[in-house]
Amino acid sequence: MYSKFNYKPSQKMIREFLKFKDKGTDIYSKFELESRKCLKEFIKENGHINGDDIKDHWFQVQKADIFISHSHQNLEEVKAFAGWLHEEFGLNAFIDSCSWGYCDDLLREIDQKFSYNEASGLYDYRLRNYTTSHVHTMLSLALTEMIDKCECVIFFNTPESINISTAIDEIRNEKQVTISPWIYHELSMASMVQQTFPERYPIPILEHSGYFLAKSDFKVDYDVTKYLNSMSTLSDDMLTKWKDNNRRKGPETLDDLYKIAHQENSIGVTCNG
């Protein structure tokens, strides 16, 4: 990973993205197919499961330029955003829910084979907890590897993903929390993985700062304030300027975004100071 952005889309920009929803849906569908490998391929005859193979194959996707972290409630908007990135800049975006969206499916297959008692019609609680811990560990590792592989991480910051009590709290930079364990994991990992310069940079030439919940009342708040503060701000104006000035396709177009973001964030720091 080289860069990370905290992006709060406006409704106006989302309407612009939605023009590319069909393309984004196609991209998402391809990632879905790659994420839905048959579990039977990775269960050995002795009943043991090859954890490395599941992690590598169940959650493996093709190479992507951008990792998009988001709330499951914003999936349609995020698909459209991925379509916009592809059509305008030739960039491939990996949408994180392609992996964690099927976490329950994988657990269901494993538990049906190992935790279900046909005689009683019940699942073994102890085994169920054990299988869940393994699947969540494999998923966490797979997501971390994808964050590390992608050049850019963009957090799609919406009221559905981040909870702030009032507008005053946001202005005062008060605590920002999420109830999604996957968002918490992704933001924390994005702050920890080592920054890696793209191969097209012969030397460092640019610097900038850079699950679905069950339908119940059970919610856990994760404080992600410090992780969001470590990300560069990405705005609608920056994306629009990036698109209007774009003359090329592929990962190199990200260089233009980095320059725009660096300039705008530097101006913001100067004004605030």
- Name the residue ranges covered by the structural domains of the chain: 3-162+179-210+227-264
pLDDT of residue 167: 52
DSSP 56: H
Which H or E run includes 4?
strand 3-7
Tokens of 35: 């994420």
Under 8 Å between Cβ of 265 and 185: no
Helices and strands per DSSP (H, E), number in the chain? 12, 9
pLDDT of residue 171: 55
Under 8 Å between Cβ of 223 and 180: no
Which of these, 156, 162, 143, 211, lies nearest to 17 by C-alpha position?
Answer: 156
Q: Which of 97-106, 109-118, 232-241 has the highest mean pLDDT?
A: 232-241
Sheet strand arrangement including 232-234: 93-95, 66-69, 152-156, 3-7, 232-234
pLDDT of residue 123: 87
Rounded (5°) CA angle 174-179-184: 80
Which of these, 269, 258, 273, lies nearest to 5 by C-alpha position?
Answer: 258
Average pLDDT over residues 123-152: 85
Average pLDDT over residues 218-227: 80
Average pLDDT over residues 256-268: 85
- For residue 170, is pLDDT > 50? yes
- For residue 166, is pLDDT > 60? no
Under 8 Å between Cβ of 38 and 124: no
- For residue 39, is pLDDT > 80? no
DSSP 73: G
Q: How confident is the model at residue 131 (pLDDT cuts 50, 70, 90)?
A: confident
Distance CA 260, CA 85 (A): 16
Per-residue exposure over 239-266, b if at least 16 CB sit within 10 Å of its own CB, e if not: bebbbeeeeeeebebbebbbebbbebbe
Polymer length in residues for the chain: 273
- For residue 92, is pLDDT > 80? yes
Burial of 203 (0-12, 13-18, 19+ CB in 10 A): exposed
Average pLDDT over residues 108-135: 84
Model's pTM, two decimal places? 0.81
Which H or E run includes 95?
strand 93-95
